[in-house]
């Protein structure tokens, strides 16, 4: 067993145009002030990070690490959630996702995909230059609009979608492999990889690629009513990153898992700040520790009720209180009898 690292915070939900949230230095100081030891950096935000420069320059990466180190902060992972989404986009979502891409490729799905793939390859090199072993991203989605089987899905539709998704990701995964970095796909509704079954479908099609792994976020599983503790037991060998995010699911006579097209505050399932929801984090930290996960526990703040600053302030101590310092000796050592191999054989009548 190993001890999980943390607490850390994903910066994406906190960046804005006012100090200290508009620079990496300012956010590092802010995070340290709240008790965080690491930050997960959104690679698409030029106010914080230049992805292309990081891919080509170790010196730039050393500068980034130096800025963080002055505040006692480390980089946990880079994130390409927005770029990963654009690796595979169903036409129904073209307009909705165009805002994730630069102006030059908006309205041009093929060019947008080429850009996204290049972004992922840059992220592989940048992660390596930063000395990171895991990278956080989304898979994108081609089959998602057909999630519910009505109208009846034509035979082979889902299989074709997953064949294509795997074909797009296999070369990207190979570049990550060349750079010694795992891709940790956040298993998330809206992505074709949204539960264990869909992850397995993808994994089979990329030949059990060693770099195809998982970012574990229990909030998305609770809202699907999936057993998120059993998920760890099944997939622990592939879990390479961890978002600590809370959620609650309170079905009513009017709505359930699908949410009735309501806004976040009025949905039966909604994300909450840490400690305000229903996720069993004691169970999660125990399971991850038991299975030897030694990555970072990264808070992702998303709450439709509580202010982000209060969520950030409460998040670090919440995570710190759940990190289990792995035992250095057995609890029952005091009762050790000191028997040897010969005694063991005699005790068994051998």
Residue with tokens 């914080």: 48
Q: What angle do CA 285, 31, 71 make, to 5 degrees?
A: 110
Q: How many domains does the chain have?
A: 1
With bands split at pLDDT 50, 70 and 90, how would you rate the model's confidence at 327?
A: confident
In the chain, % of residues over pLDDT 70? 98
Average pLDDT, the chain: 96
- Residue pair 139/169 in contact by the 8 Å Cβ criterion: yes
Q: State the average pLDDT over residues 211-220.
A: 98
Residue 75 backbone dihedrals phi, psi, to 5 degrees: -85, 130
Domain that holds residue 143: 5-347
With bands split at pLDDT 50, 70 and 90, how would you rate the model's confidence at 334?
A: low
Cα Rg of the chain, angstroms: 22
Query: pLDDT at position 32, please?
Result: 98
Query: pLDDT at position 263, please?
Result: 97
For 257-283, give the secondary structure using H, E and C.
Answer: CCHHHCCHHHCCEEEECCCCCCCCHHH
pLDDT digits (tens, 9 = 90+) for 197-207: 999 999 999 99
Q: Which two tokens stand for residue 243?
A: 């978002």
Query: pLDDT at position 1, please?
Result: 87
Examine the pLDDT at 345 and tell me if it is beyond 80.
yes
**Measuring CA to CA, which residue among 280, 256, 271, 281 is closest to residue 305?**
271
Query: pLDDT at position 335, please?
Result: 61
- Residue pair 72/37 in contact by the 8 Å Cβ criterion: yes
Query: pLDDT at position 329, please?
Result: 73
Burial (CB count <10 Å: 0-12, 13-18, 19+), residue 23: middle
Q: State the average pLDDT over residues 22-33.
A: 98
**Measuring CA to CA, which residue among 309, 283, 287, 312 is closest to residue 298?**
312
pLDDT digits (tens, 9 = 90+) for 255-305: 999 999 999 999 999 999 999 999 999 999 999 999 999 999 999 999 999
- b/e map of 41-60 (b: 16 or more CB within 10 Å)? bbbbbeebbebebbbeeeeb
Query: pLDDT at position 25, please?
Result: 98
Examine the pLDDT at 343 and tell me if it is beyond 90.
no
Q: State the average pLDDT over residues 6-28.
A: 98
Q: State the average pLDDT over residues 172-185.
A: 98
CATH of the domain at 260: 3.20.20.150
Q: State the average pLDDT over residues 106-128.
A: 98
Q: What angle do CA 236, 130, 62 make, to 5 degrees?
A: 155
Q: State the average pLDDT over residues 147-158.
A: 97
Residue 285 and residue 178: Cα distance in Å, rounded? 31
Cis upstream peptide for 201 (omega within 30°): no
pLDDT digits (tens, 9 = 90+) for 37-96: 999 999 999 999 999 999 999 999 999 999 999 999 999 999 999 999 999 999 999 999
Query: pLDDT at position 184, please?
Result: 99
For the chain, give the secondary structure using H, E and C.
Answer: CCCCEEEEEECCCCCCCCCCCCCHHHHHHHHHHCCCCEEEEECCCCCCCCHHHHHHCHHHHHHHHHHHHCCCCEEEEEEEHHHHHCCCECHHHHHHHHCCCCHHHCCCHHHHHHHHHHHHHHHHHHHHHCCCCEEEECCCECCHHHCCCCCCCCCCHHHHHHHHHHHHHHHHHHHHHHCCCEEEEECCCCCCCCCHHHHHHHHHHCCCCCCEEEEECHHHHHHHCCCHHHHHHHHHHHEEEEEECEEEECCCCCCCCCHHHCCHHHCCEEEECCCCCCCCHHHHHHHHHHCCCCCEEEECCCCCCCCHHHHHHHHHHHHHHHCCCCCCCCCCHHHCCCCCHHHHHHHCCC
What dihedral do alpha carbons 122, 124, 129, 133 form, nearest 10°?
160
Residue 88 and residue 290: Cα distance in Å, rounded? 35
């Amino acid at each position: 067993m190993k001890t999980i690292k943390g607490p850390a915070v994903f910066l994406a939900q906190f960046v804005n145009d006012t100090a200290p949230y508009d620079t990496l230095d300012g956010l590092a100081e802010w995070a340290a002030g709240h008790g965080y030891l690491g930050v997960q950096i959104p690679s698409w935000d030029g106010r914080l990070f230049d992805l292309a420069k990081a891919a080509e320059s170790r010196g730039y990466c050393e500068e980034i690490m130096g800025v963080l180190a002055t505040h006692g902060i480390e980089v946990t992972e880079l994130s390409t959630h927005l770029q990963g989404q654009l690796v595979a986009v169903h036409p129904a979502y073209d307009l909705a996702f165009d805002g994730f891409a630069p102006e030059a490729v908006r309205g041009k799905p093929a060019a947008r995909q080429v850009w996204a793939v290049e972004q992922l390859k840059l992220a592989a090199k940048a992660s390596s230059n930063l000395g990171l072993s895991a990278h956080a991203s989304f898979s994108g989605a081609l089959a998602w609009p057909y999630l519910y089987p009505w109208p009846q899905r034509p035979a082979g539709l889902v299989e074709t979608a997953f064949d294509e998704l795997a074909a797009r990701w296999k070369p990207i995964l190979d570049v990550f492999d060349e750079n010694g970095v795992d891709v940790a796909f956040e298993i998330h509704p809206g992505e074709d990889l949204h539960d264990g079954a869909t992850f397995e479908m993808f994994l089979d099609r990329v030949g059990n690629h060693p770099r195809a792994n998982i970012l574990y976020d229990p909030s998305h599983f609770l809202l699907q009513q999936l057993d998120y503790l059993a998920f760890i037991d099944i997939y622990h060998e592939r879990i390479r990153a961890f978002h600590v995010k809370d959620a609650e699911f309170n079905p009513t006579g009017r709505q359930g898992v699908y949410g009735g097209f309501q806004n976040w505050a009025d949905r039966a399932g909604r994300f909450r700040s840490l400690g305000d929801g229903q996720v069993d984090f004691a169970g999660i930290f125990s399971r991850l520790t038991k299975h030897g996960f030694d990555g970072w526990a990264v808070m992702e703040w998303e709450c439709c009720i509580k202010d982000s600053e209060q969520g950030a302030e409460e998040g670090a101590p919440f995570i710190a209180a759940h990190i289990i310092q792995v035992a250095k000796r057995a609890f029952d050592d005091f009762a050790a009898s000191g028997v040897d191999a010969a005694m063991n054989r005699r005790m068994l009548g051998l």
